[in-house]
Chain A
Amino acid sequence: METTEQIRDRLLARFPGATVTLVTNPGPAAEHSLLLGAAHAHAIALFLRDDPALQLDYCSNATGVDWPDKEIIDVKKLTVPDPAGGAPKIVEEKTKRMDPGYLEAVYHLYSMALRHGPVIIRLRTTNRSDQVTLPSLTPVWRSCDFQEREIFDLYGIVFEGHRDLRRILMWDEFKDYPMRKDYVDPDDYEWEPTPHAEVLDRAKQHYPTPPPAAQPPDGPSVASAKEGKP
């Protein structure tokens, strides 16, 4: 099979306006992937499926990944001359910038006919809040049907062109997207005397006053029995 670079070059030659970027995988697996622009993703997917040299007729795995906003601190070293005439000082200047986050859909493609693969393609949304639409690849590979529904359900990527985009694992009335990194569990813990400190803390936040402990049954207490009182 061609290397990922060769596939990228062929795609760029075939689709002049498209953005196809190589995303390298630094790990030992070294399975590099292709980041596709959303505009041409559907056409490129069709090309990958039907191209006689590739014939990626089987989309094995489709999944989402959440990359939240990241605060990056740039450290710049400045040399400040000493006005008193001494040696110049080196001062570190820190600037903060936000690296905008995005949601990502990853597809692992194999060829069942030619028995090669995987070719990994990625699609990214513009941000994580309001522009989360990506083209659906279900019309190209039907196997994405349930998997794209799952990404929609757990990550909140809206797939345009999916014919039946509903929640699949969570119930329909559910609001949030549980697989996102900033997902907060709903505050519906019941109060219970539990040895798990974290659960107990959360339960206490929800129920500031625990229900009163059960009253001891009537009768002489242990203390009074010891003292011999009636």
Chain B
Amino acid sequence: MSVSDLSSFTPASGPTVRAVKDPFHGDLLEVSMGPQHPSTHGVFRMVVTLDGEIVVKLKPVFGYLHRNHEKIAENTSYLGSMPYTDRLDYLCSMSTNWAYALAVEKLSGQAVPDRAQYLRVILAELTRLVNHSCLVGFLFNDLGTSFTPLLYAFREREKILDLFESLSGSRMMCNFQRFGGCRVDPSPEWLAAASQLVNNFPRFLDEYEMMLTGNEIMLARTQGIGVLDAKKAVNAGLTGPVLRASGYNYDIRKVDGYGFYPRFDFRVPLGAHGDTYDRYMMRVLEMRESVKILQQAFRDLPAGPVMDPKAKIRGFRPKPGEAYGRIESPKGELGFYLISDGSPNPYRYRVRPPSLINLTLLEEMCLGHTIADSVVILGSIDIVLGEVDR
């Protein structure tokens, strides 16, 4: 795919597929999947029109978990909405905290000490391990391998969550990052335990892959299913592993080089076909790259403060202005857009949710596949409804 193809792409206007009564195939059936459905990963609803078992139309319906997070954040202080960001993507609270802290630091020109930058990389990559291993487990749940792979993943996840709990006091709602650093400094014992966990992680991945990757049912159900075209994906704003599975190299850790990511040696895995199988492999390969980043981070972690001593905690009022900070969260580009008017509250607080925008092409990926495959495709996109609905 060349760049010139990209620019000429314009989405078609009008509905993609019209549900019509076809004398040869009989009546179409409209099924409302969700919001209370175990395979929609939360309170997500798909209105699916079926011709037999084949999806001919799919409309996603959102908002069942909407609590107007942005309005809540505009009515509280900058730091006061840090705990709320945990609830956006509740599997990856450490990375979400970082995205918000990054945006506020950009808004206020706050510096971050080296040790905190390394610590943020460590925590964000541990979060990526949590998210991706869970996602693979849930994907196999959707494929019908009820719970065994998921529980293998949860076993590893619990070990990482134990680390988070001993560091921040909470397994999932970590509330750990601050503007100008991190809340607490990990003890040497914590670092040793985390380092040991990371060193053991490839063994888990090998075991996991041995059971799952070559599985015949898995191959039959995922290869060639839900193929996503890279130029369409770029235009639709898809980011993260879903985009890279289609072969488009765009990783914000490399592009923006935020934090201390330019100091680390890692590669960005890319898919070739853009199908569900590639999206699965992308997660497995990214976990292996995360392990490499983590090992380098534990090796190079400098001594020093984890919080900028000049950082202002009380009476924090950024100067008027605006900033957009974004990170490569495990699900894609997670951005925070903030406008300050000089008061203690943000004038405008906006979350750019990767989960929501990655669903833009869900219909096109599912068309022509069976209803059972649409469940797997949705699972491979990786959404968290706390972030989709905000």
Contact = CB atoms under 8 A, between A and B. Distances in A.
Interface of A: 25-31, 49-50, 55, 57-61, 63, 65, 106, 108, 112-113, 115, 118, 120, 138-147, 154, 163, 167-171, 178-179, 183
Contact of A142 (B63, B108, B236): B236
B319 interface: yes
Contacts of A138: 11
Given A112-B250, A139-B13, A143-B360, A169 B62 contact: yes
B247 interface: no
* Interface of B (DSSP majority class): mixed
Given A27-B340, A179-B71, A146 B359 contact: yes
B320 interface: yes
Contact of B389 (A144, A169, A171): A169
B324 interface: yes
A228 B118 CA distance: 74
B337 interface: yes
A27 B322 contact: yes
A31 B322 contact: yes
A199 to B, nearest CB: 14
B63 A65 contact: no
Given A28-B109, A146-B357, A169 B326 contact: no
Q: Which of A55, A61, A118, A178 has the most CB of B within 10 A?
A: A61
Contacts of B357: 143, 146-147
B235 interface: yes
A112 to B, nearest CB: 5
A10 B66 CA distance: 42
B237 A60 contact: yes
Interface of B: 3, 6-8, 10-11, 13-15, 62-63, 66, 68, 70-71, 106-109, 232, 234-238, 248, 250, 255, 318-324, 326, 333, 335, 337, 339-340, 348, 350, 352, 356-357, 359-361, 389-390
Interface of A is mostly: loop
Nearest to B10: A139
- 7 tightest A-B contacts by CB? A27-B321, A143-B237, A28-B109, A29-B323, A169-B63, A142-B236, A61-B352
Contacts, number: 129
Best-buried of B320, B352, B390 by chain A (most CB within 10 Å) = B352
Nearest to B359: A146
Contacts of A168: 62-63
A118 B324 contact: yes
Given A27-B318, A59-B237, A170-B63, A163 B7 contact: no
Given A55-B6, A163-B15, 14 more contacts: A26-B320, A27-B107, A28-B106, A29-B106, A29-B324, A58-B234, A60-B333, A63-B350, A65-B339, A106-B337, A108-B337, A142-B232, A145-B360, A168-B62
A170 B352 CA distance: 18
A163 B14 contact: yes
Contacts of B350: 61, 63
B255 A115 contact: yes
Contacts of B236: 142-143, 145
Contacts of B359: 146
B234 A112 contact: yes
Contacts of A163: 13-15
Contacts of A183: 71
